[in-house]
Amino acid sequence: DQQVKQNSPSLSVQEGRISILNCDYTNSMFDYFLWYKKYPAEGPTFLISISSIKDKNEDGRFTVFLNKSAKHLSLHIVPSQPGDSAVYFCAASGDTGNQFYFGTGTSLTVIP
Amino acid sequence: KAGVTQTPRYLIKTRGQQVTLSCSPISGHRSVSWYQQTPGQGLQFLFEYFSETQRNKGNFPGRFSGRQFSNSRSEMNVSTLELGDSALYLCASSRTVVAPSNTGELFFGEGSRLTVL
């Protein structure tokens, strides 16, 4: 029962263009969302978060959008850089402490 | 400051054996969570410990267990290993409870890659 879904296993984008990674969730009790980036042989590293009281959060080149009615969030990376090539995971949590539900990841390739 | 440290990084076991993985959280972090990552399944939550108490447990069989010590270090154990237990096991620490305060994040270690033959 995958409560958080990333339906695009991979995405390729030209350097300098926008990368848009999508994530859908099914549990309406989720109210906190995180995005992580993972390089091979490394642990996931935190990128950006958003609470359900907001619909947008920005941090430099990274912006996360939350559409609660559609149970959908997206991560925008502008401009995309080759160093952004990695696997991106979205994660969601409700009021259950630090138990997060992760998507299966989207592998982003930024082409120079 | 030092990050989350997991040992061993790689290990190979055979079916039926048991394994213990260790995690040292970031200094000052009291919450330790464990996740299993397998191809196509993403990260699956195993359990979380906070101040030596298991606070949440994922949907895994009883062969998977864990504990946390007074210094916040944590171990997880898998008994009677099966081929399907081959995975990357990730430990994450956090200073406090991320939800429902909805602040902060989990800090992950590099993982312990277990191969069961």
Residues A43, B108 contacting (CB under 8 angstroms): yes
The more confidently predicted of residues B100 and B68 is B68
Tell if the CB–CB gap between B56 and A98 is shorter than 8 Å.
Answer: yes
Q: What is the mean pLDDT of residues B62-69?
A: 96
Q: Which residue of A has its CA nearest to B39?
A: A104
pLDDT at position B56 is 87
pLDDT at position B1 is 57
Handedness of CA A34, A39, A40, A45 (dihedral sign): negative
Predicted confidence (pLDDT) per residue in A34-84, tens digit? 999 999 888 999 999 998 889 999 999 999 999 999 999 999 999 999 999
Tell if the CB–CB gap between B90 and A44 is shorter than 8 Å.
Answer: yes
SS3 A84: helix
Tell if the CB–CB gap between A32 and B98 is shorter than 8 Å.
Answer: yes
Q: φ and ψ at A92, to 5 degrees?
A: -135, 150
pLDDT band at B98 (very low <50, low <70, confident <90, very high): low
